[in-house]
A = this chain, B = another copy of it.
Amino acid sequence: MDSKESENIAVTDAKAAAKGKAAEGAHPTADVAMKTKTQTRRGSKKGLAIVDLVLRLGASSAAVAAAYSPLSSEQILPFFTQFLQFHAEYNDLPTFTFFVVANAIAVGYIGLSMPFSIVCIIRPRAIGPRLLLVFCDTVMIALVVAAAGASSAIMYLAHNGNLDSNWLAICMQYTNFCQGLSGAVVASFVAAVFFMLLVVNSTFALKK
C-alpha cells in the first residue's frame, strides 16, 4: 500500500464517518420531535378517555335519579272517608313506565360500557372500543331523550291540562306526585346532556 492510496482510503473513511455523524445528528432530533408529538397526542387522548369515564359517572348518577324518582313518588288523597281513597302512582301514566324502563336501561348500559371506557384509558390509541361506545352512546341519546320528551309532554298536560281535548290538569290535586315526576324528567334531560357530551368527546378522541 503506498502513501497516496492510504490517504485516499483515509479521506473516504473520514467522509463516510462525517456522513454517518450527520445522519446520526439529524435522526435524534427528528426522533425526539416525533416522540414528543406522539406522546403529546397519546397524553391528550388519555385525557379525553378520563373525561369520558367522568362523564359516564355523571350520566349514570342522573339516570339513576331519573329511574328511581318516579318509583318513590306516589300520593294518596283522602276522599270523604278513609275507605275511599285516590291513589296516584307513576304507572297510572303508561308513559312513565316507559320512562323508568328507558332510564334503567341507560343505567345498565353505563355499567356495561365502563370496562370499554377503562380500556380506552389504558390503551389511548385503541379505535375499536371507542367506535363501539360512540355507536351505543348515540342510541342511548335517542332512548333517553325520547323518554324524557314523552314524559315532559305528559307532565305539561298534567300541569296545564288541555281545554280543547277536555283533558283536565291533575296536578291541581296531586301536587307532590307531580313534583316528583317533574324532577325525574329534569334528571333524565341531564342524563341526555351527559350522553351528548360523551359522543362529542369520543369524536374528538377519534379524530386524527
Q: Give A residues with C-beta under 8 Å from B.
A: 1-2, 4-5, 8-9, 12, 88, 92-95, 127, 130-131, 134-135, 138-139, 141-142, 145-154, 156-158, 162, 164-168, 170, 192, 196, 199-200, 202-204, 206-208
For the A-B complex with A127-B208, A141-B142 known, give 12 more contacts whose Cβ atoms are closer than 8 Å.
A12-B12, A130-B207, A134-B199, A139-B196, A141-B141, A147-B149, A149-B153, A150-B153, A151-B153, A157-B167, A166-B170, A206-B207
> Copies of this chain, how many?
2
Pick 24 A–B contacts, CB within 8 A, sort by A: A1-B4, A2-B2, A92-B164, A92-B165, A93-B165, A94-B162, A131-B204, A135-B203, A139-B196, A141-B145, A142-B192, A145-B149, A146-B146, A149-B149, A149-B150, A150-B152, A154-B154, A157-B157, A158-B165, A165-B170, A167-B167, A203-B206, A206-B208, A207-B207
Chain A interface, DSSP helix/strand/loop, else mixed: helix
| A208: contacting residue among B93, B148, B208, CB under 8 A | B208
A208 to B142, CA, bound (A): 26
> Which residue in B1, B146, B165, B199 is a CB contact (below 8 Å) of A138?
B199
Determine whether the beta carbon of A142 is less than 8 Å from that of B94. no
